[in-house]
A and B are shown apart, each in its own frame.
Chain A
């Protein structure tokens, strides 16, 4: 079984300050981990993925995440928030079982204040 816990339902930052969105996972298999972003009433866009290569993963729009197996964490960070980063972010785990289904966290809504 696998699960994902996003530790904050809402995060508010000021424009130009760092962003930290926290995610912990549980998986019986070697997990693949993803972060997706969803802007209001839009589909989900893949930000970045970890698939057992480098533990520090760089994604689009300046985001990156670090896989820490000892802490079972996969936190998403960005050095400097932009107004356009305001959206909902989902941490996702996929097992290596055949059906390749994804398990989603409940999401973190990021607000960026001017």
Chain B
């Protein structure tokens, strides 16, 4: 069966520090991969999605970037965090051509 892993579960970072959140999927090949952010009391906002290695589409211009160095690995990064980057970050995957997405457990990021 397929599983999705996200880490770390929680992270507290100072303003201006770098960020790296990692997501890996097991049990499937060539998945679509997604990064979402959930701000407090709000719905989910799609940040990036990827249909293959090295293929990244950005939905919202901002302080973050994403990379897909391997088929089942998706990384969310920032060179310098802002206070507004605080939130709950969720990684998701789907089978190519299907629209059902499966989510990881999320990372709670607090930028202080």
Interface residues of A (CB under 8 A from B): 32, 34, 36, 41-46, 49, 51, 90, 94, 96, 99-102, 104-107
Interface residues of B (CB under 8 A from A): 6, 32, 34, 42-46, 49, 51, 57, 59, 88, 90, 92, 94, 97-106, 108
The answer to whether B105 and A42 touch across the interface, beta carbons within 8 angstroms, is yes
For residue A76, give the distance in angstroms from its CB to the closest CB of chain B.
Answer: 15
Closest to A94 in B: B99
Q: How many residue pairs at the A-B interface have CB separations less than 8 Å?
A: 53
Main secondary structure of the interface of B (DSSP, over half): strand
A42 and B105 CA atoms in complex are apart in Å by: 5
A-B contacts, 28 of them at CB < 8 A, read A34-B100, A41-B88, A41-B106, A41-B108, A42-B106, A43-B90, A43-B104, A43-B105, A44-B44, A44-B92, A44-B103, A45-B103, A49-B100, A51-B99, A99-B32, A99-B51, A99-B57, A100-B32, A100-B94, A100-B97, A100-B101, A101-B49, A101-B59, A102-B99, A102-B101, A104-B44, A107-B42, A107-B43
For residue A31, give the distance in angstroms from its CB to the closest CB of chain B.
Answer: 10
A105 and B44 CA atoms in complex are apart in Å by: 8
For residue B97, give the distance in angstroms from its CB to the closest CB of chain A.
Answer: 7
Closest to B101 in A: A102
A96 and B44 CA atoms in complex are apart in Å by: 19
For residue B65, give the distance in angstroms from its CB to the closest CB of chain A.
Answer: 18
**A49 to chain B: which residues have CB within 8 Å?**
100
**A107 to chain B: which residues have CB within 8 Å?**
42-43
Given contacts A43-B103, A100-B98, contact A90 B108 (CB under 8 A): no
The answer to whether A46 and B100 touch across the interface, beta carbons within 8 angstroms, is yes
